[in-house]
Amino acid sequence: MLLIHPPVAKPCEPPAGIAKLSGALTAHGIEHTLLDANIEALLYTLDKTKDIAVEPSDKWTARALKNQAANLEALRGNRLYTNIDRYGRAIADLNRILEKSTDNIATLGLANYRDSELSPLRSRDLIRAADNPECSIFYEYFSRRLTQLIQQKEPSVIGFSLNYLSQALCTFAMIGYIKNLLPHAKVIIGGGLVTSWMSNPDWHNPFSGLFYTLISGPGEQQLLDIMGVSAIKENHYAPDYNSLPLSDYLAPGFILPYNASTGCYWNKCSFCPEKAEESPYIPTPLNKVMEDIRSLVQKTKPVLIHLLDNAVSPALLKRITEQPFDVPWYGFARINRDLTDPDFCRALKNSGCVMLKLGLESGDQQVLNKMHKGIDLKTASLALKTLKNAGIATYVYLIFGTPGETLPEARSTLDFVIRHKDEITFLNIAIFNMPVVGDDAFKLETKNFYDGDLSLYTDFVHPEGWNRKQIRQFLDNEFKRNKAVMEIIKRDPPIFTSNHAGFFVSSL
């Protein structure tokens, strides 16, 4: 079996999805190969552009090419993460090389890919990508690499983990190439994006004949069924990263991704895709989590643990304070009373917690109530101050343009940020997108947001006329121009954002 993580996604840590599948296959003695085509394709593209012709006036590209090797080396070292400006230049230079590699037929970056003609939101375009794999900007890479692996391993089953829209077109191009090269292989596809497609009640598979099957949700059990395992040993398997190129990722050491649950234990927020898709909350038993992470730390020697949960449960946070990993870590947590307890936050800090990502969403209490967010702003305020005093950085997420928000409420959020400028370390600012299967989508007047039958979001007529143009004007002309907000935004690592933010905490 061959399991593939396709381009393009942030190349700073290994893919947790295929590593989890690898753990299940290894437990049952099934031979398999993991291919992180994402990191390989990006490095291949950077390498092949070293000798591209550069216009004399294009000094930026010339500088970027000259410093390419040094920038890659710096991103894998420690010193770059003490200066956000030098870091930003290195990222921008590498991104510049990738942009110049496409001859204007696509937009390519370290964490992004957009084709000038094809859209990952249209099934016909994905099928077109599969029918014409030679048109992919990554064809030179994957045609060689897949041919090599298929000749060596002769896999009967080939699986793709498709999680992001930026991976979709390349995934289908690679599938098309495989179907031509190995027509009798069983090609399967799963991952977060596929799960979202299949969660839509109007879903009808437009890819008939292209796949052996599509997998929704966690794929371990279904994959074992496909491989003919009749006696499945257990319901949980630790991820196995051993066969991935752990030293190639763009980070100052190995980042260990680990998911202690699927779904969200709160699962009430009206805007959330998890709730809209009715994803169940399935936590891994705490003893298993701690056992897994201790074993993985011993094997992989990470510099940072990334807890991937939609929200790390209070029970797991408490267990970590009692049994620290002895490695720095970060992850998403819900704002609750535990985070207002100075002793608890100091215990989190002592356990290695360098940063918590917090989905505040709004600084207006009525907006939060309408979203069923379950957050009290007084609690949020105290939690931010308590975490700051304990030495834990915060990466705060805000959403503007929800059905319950208008300009005055958006300004309340601005006021909240200003009041807590010393406690908010990083900010993620987004404009609200309505999930096509969300409850609110059936209550409001909606209209096509994107031209595509695979769109996950829909535009809507805001009940108070607070439209996207006005929201952008507020964010660009008022929110982001505020001095306090600007100081926070300047700290955010470009491209890699929260994935690299923890490395900057000690220098702030």
Domain 255-507 is found in CATH 3.30.499.10: no
The total number of residues shown for the chain amounts to: 508
Beta bridge partners of 63: none
Strands (E), 181-226: 186-190, 213-214
Domain 2-43+116-226 is found in CATH 3.10.20.30: no
d(CA 110, CA 103): 17
Phi, then psi, of 10 in degrees rounded to 5: -55, 120
| CA atoms 427, 401, 484, 391: torsion sign | negative
User: For the chain, what are the domain ranges?
Assistant: 2-43+116-226, 50-100, 255-507
Identify whether the C-beta of residue 289 lies closer than 8 Å to the C-beta of residue 236: no
**DSSP string spanning 356-418?**
EEEEEE-S-HHHHHHTT----HHHHHHHHHHHHHHT-EEEEEEEE--TT--HHHHHHHHHHHH
Strands (E), 162-299: 186-190, 213-214, 255-258, 261-262, 282-283
Instruction: Print pLDDT tens along the chain (508 aa).
Output: 999 999 999 999 999 999 999 999 999 999 999 999 999 999 999 999 877 778 878 999 999 999 999 999 999 999 999 999 999 999 999 999 999 998 888 899 999 999 999 999 999 999 999 999 999 999 999 999 999 999 998 899 999 999 999 999 999 999 999 999 999 999 999 999 999 999 888 899 999 889 999 999 888 999 999 998 877 767 789 999 999 999 999 999 999 999 999 988 888 887 777 766 677 889 999 999 999 999 999 999 999 999 999 999 999 999 999 999 999 999 999 999 999 999 999 999 999 999 999 999 999 999 999 999 999 999 999 999 999 999 999 999 999 999 999 999 999 999 999 999 999 999 999 999 888 876 665 677 777 766 789 998 888 888 888 999 999 999 999 999 999 999 999 999 999 999 999 999 986 6
Nearest to 137 by CA among 164, 112, 94, 102: 102
CA trace torsion 203, 204, 208, 210 (10° rounding):
-10
Identify whether the C-beta of residue 163 lies closer than 8 Å to the C-beta of residue 120: no
CA separation, residue 189 to residues 35, 168, 193, 210 (Å): 14, 11, 10, 10
Cis check: omega of the bond before 8, within 30 degrees of 0: yes
d(CA 34, CA 52): 31
d(CA 178, CA 155): 11
* 3-class secondary structure, 106: strand
